[in-house]
Amino acid sequence: LNVIEHIWSHLKDHVNNRTVHPKNVVEAEIALFEEWQKIDLDFINSLVLSMPHCVEAVIEAHGNSTRY
């Protein structure tokens, strides 16, 4: 139920899909920063707005696994 986990996954996918992959820590930091700056606010809002539904699913599953 942690929104940031979806954002980390998004960042990882976008860094991995770059034409030129980072070759060291400095290049990785730069790539992450650049991809972070590109995250669409609508994407973050959609994650936040999905939270009530996610919480409801967890409650209905009595704390067991859900698709979230």
Return the pLDDT at 61: 94
In a 10 Å sphere around its CB, with 0-12 CB exposed, 13-18 middle and 19+ buried, how is residue 18 labelled? exposed
- The domain locations on the chain are 3-61
Does residue 63 carry a pLDDT above 80?
yes
Give 14-56 pLDDT, tens digit per residue: 999 999 999 999 999 999 999 999 999 999 999 999 999 999 9
Return the pLDDT at 38: 97
Return the pLDDT at 1: 83
Q: Specify the pTM.
A: 0.77
